[in-house]
Structure 1
Amino acid sequence: MDLPRIVSVDDHVIEPAHLFETWLPAKYRDRGPRPMTAGIGELEYTGGKYRITMDPDGRPTDWWIYEDLRFPYKRNIAAVGFHRDDMTLEGITREEMRRGCWDPAARLKDMDLNHVEASLCFPTFPRFCGQTFAEAHDKEVALACVRAYNDWMVDEWCGDSGGRLIPLCIIPLWDIDLAVAEVRRNADRGVRALTFSELPTHLGLPSIHTGYWDPLFALCQETGTVVNMHIGSSSQMPATSPDAPTAVQATLSFNNAMASMSDFLFSGVLVRFPRLTLAYSEGQMGWIPYVLERADDVWREHRAWGGVRDVIPEPPSTYYYRQIFCCFFRDKHGIASLDAVGRDNATFETDYPHVDSTFPHTKRVALDHVKGLDDETVHKLMRGNAIRMLGLDLDTPAA
């Protein structure tokens, strides 16, 4: 099979050390994030949370220092190029990383090696939906940091890529008016994707049921801006017990996406905003058929006492097939259930440069998943659905 070049809807970028020095206005730089190389102590993982300390005698590691936050880069988030058994939670410097982690020109070369034409990249230091700045004390500086990150993302990370690196922007989550203004600012320069929290109440923010986020959703609908929700964008991964190994968390990583989708299906948001597009990132898709079956069953049998009789006029799966995209990279069960998942709803990702990344073997992994599917479906999964979702110019016939 001649596999189409892939449009990956979930990759990641390691921010270069010069980001805020270059893009943050000078008056904020002494209060903004600063890069530092210093030793790292032993990491503790308890109940889904990491505790990280500096240690002058520890392994040299690149950090960001911001207010009272000490944020290190670790091997598991810059794992490409390492042997599987060396993809650990040890600290790492940019010099030790594969250059494509943080250099856009090198990333394009790695995409060529990996059969990838275009890529949407989530942040690392700001965390998946900008939680770092939402948690900051000085919100004036935090807002400047959000804008600086987005300017860097649009003009530097994506700027010289010829459309192959697709801008994904963060918003000031702590203020709906500022969030709307930032979406408008970015939409006006062609950005069609933002990253949002899968479960905002876990961040101490209003739920999607309150109507608080409706101005944001309304503008996203108006501008065709996709609301992307990455697993972990609630700063809380599923944890069973405080002493469970991280392998349990990794196995259950889809859980928050499943919970978030259930939330949206019964929220009325997709009823009020019928052209709003949601995208679940790194959540896989094998679980979706049962969730849709269960949600429709609840709607039929329990909608009166369940509180959604007057909110959701059609079976919840209606809104999924109309407005929600999922993505996968290793999910043969999802492929086997593709008709229920939706041939028009599934997209593909490579997760570069994380531990889960299929780099540099993505073409082989993808072919193993799509063997036996017809050419039209393969095209949809590898690129067509992503192009439609993000409104990309790729595959546009010449005039």
Structure 2
Amino acid sequence: MASFPWIVSVDDHTVEPPHLWQDRLPARLRAEGPRVVRAPCREMAFSGGRFTAVMGGPGDGGPPVDWWVYEDLRRPLTRLDTAVGCSRDEVALKGITFEDMRPGSFSVPERLADMDLNHVRSALCFPTFPRFCGQTFAEARDKELALACVRAYNDWMTEEWCGPGAGGRLIPLAIVPLWDAELAAAEVRRTSARGVPAVCFSEIPPYLGLPSVHTDAWDPFLRACEETGTVVAMHIGSSSRMPSTSADAPPAVGSALTFANCCFSLADWLLSGVFERFPRLRVMYAEGQIGWIPYLLERADTVWQENRGWGGVADRVRRPPSELFAGHVHGCFFDDAFGLRSLDAIGVGNVLYETDYPHSDSTWPRSREVAERQMAHLAPEVTERIVRGNAIALLGLTEDGLWPGAARPAGRR
């Protein structure tokens, strides 16, 4: 293809700078708020879909690691948080410091430069320390502090990460206080008023000890999203549990199954009645890939058609799940040739592209190359929609793929 559309990536990540909460929390809360401490790592493991790490003390040897400290949590920065620029052999489960990262992981000017190298026009970025839907704060004891942390993160995201210096190329994505649906709704309305087009949510809330989407517990939050046009963005791992088969399964098993929680989640949403109650609600699955979607839609339609009488959905799901998917759901991918051969069964308008910078799965700096190779069989207008057009429409971006809110006055709120 002589010219290729500039990419709008709907799933990249930011690594929060050490000063974020110390600068933005009220003075009386800063001592207990998230802060970075440098210390060795005594132990780190990822097994059975769960990550664990133990901070070392002054007498322990080993290289220094930067840790986020918050209440009882000790969370190290790891090479998997920011793997771009490293050889495959260097990408291992180990602790790092900010100096060990590619600066584009946490610095706006360097991020924009790395986006230029990767043919990326703009990017929606998920959090790192708060985790993919802010569950770090949902698990905290002090909910007053946790709510302040959520708001501080969203203000930083809007004013600094996606502020005037980014020129509209970084698109804000909010987190919400998951422990209270009314507070979550209020935060959706607060951030939407500042032009934030999307909000993080958990793919499977019960894994976090929260209500499922089969209840009406989330209705205040979902109503706020519908009324403000805010997209509900669910990233793999936003349930704090990656799919695995056993406690001793190597991480590669979970890595091969990263789509599975999205699959389970989509079945939940399609058969919950949520889209009947909120007919303008839109959701997206980040990093879940798309090749699995056609069969799930086929099976869900069959179950709805043949088994809805005893399946508990006859009174809440009134249309075939595939129709609900077409009107409400977007799947996101970065490397899925099979899925691109199945577009007729998924829907061209329901597919978004991503680069996953700066994670180990990222296609940076080859995202254009990967897309050109996998989309070579598609008509140019189809490629245009997948690479940028669908994202522009979903997120309310300018025709050039920029976030229009960057032009608004900054000012903290």
TM-score w.r.t. length of structure 1: 0.98
Q: CA deviation at 1:266?
A: 0.4
Indicate the SS of the match to 1:211: coil
Give the equivalent residue in structure 2 for 1:228.
233
Sequence identity of aligned pairs in percent? 58
Indicate the SS of the match to 1:52: strand
Q: Deviations over 1:204-226 (max 9, x none)?
A: 00111110111111111111100
Q: Does 1:167 align with 2:172?
A: yes
Q: Does 1:94 align with 2:95?
A: no
- Aligned residue type for 1:82: C
Q: CA deviation at 1:46?
A: 3.0
Q: Deviations over 1:210-260 (max 9, x none)?
A: 101111111111111000000000000111011111000000110000000
Give the equivalent residue in structure 1 for 2:71.
67
Q: CA deviation at 1:85?
A: 1.4
Give the equivalent residue in structure 2 for 1:8.
9
* One of 347, 354, 358 as aligned partner of 2:363: 358
Q: CA deviation at 1:47?
A: 2.1
Give the equivalent residue in structure 2 for 1:263.
268
C-alpha distance in 1, partners of 2:228/2:209? 27
Structure 1, unaligned stretches of length 5 or more?
A: none
Equivalent residues of 2:48, 2:251 under 8 A apart: no
Structure 2, unaligned stretches of length 5 or more?
A: 402-413
Give the equivalent residue in structure 1 for 2:135.
131
Equivalent residues of 2:80, 2:359 under 8 A apart: yes
C-alpha distance in 2, partners of 1:177/1:217? 10
C-alpha distance in 1, partners of 2:398/2:46? 43
Give the equivalent residue in structure 1 for 2:51.
50
Q: CA deviation at 1:59?
A: 2.2
Give the equivalent residue in structure 1 for 2:406.
none
Give the equivalent residue in structure 2 for 1:188.
193
* One of 308, 314, 329 as aligned partner of 1:309: 314
C-alpha distance in 2, partners of 1:52/1:14? 18
Indicate the SS of the match to 1:229: strand
**Structure 1 residues 183-262: aligned runs within 5 Å:** 183-262=188-267
Aligned residues: 397
C-alpha distance in 1, partners of 2:109/2:147? 28
Q: CA deviation at 1:41?
A: 2.1
* One of 269, 275, 293 as aligned partner of 2:298: 293
- Aligned residue type for 1:175: D
C-alpha distance in 2, partners of 1:229/1:21? 28
Q: CA deviation at 1:58?
A: 2.3
Give the equivalent residue in structure 2 for 1:283.
288
Q: RMSD of the alignment, in Å?
A: 1.1
Give the equivalent residue in structure 1 for 2:147.
143
Give the equivalent residue in structure 2 for 1:27.
28
Equivalent residues of 2:47, 2:251 under 8 A apart: no
Indicate the SS of the match to 1:262: helix
- Aligned residue type for 2:4: L
C-alpha distance in 2, partners of 1:53/1:200? 26
Q: Does 1:344 align with 2:349?
A: yes
TM-score w.r.t. length of structure 2: 0.95
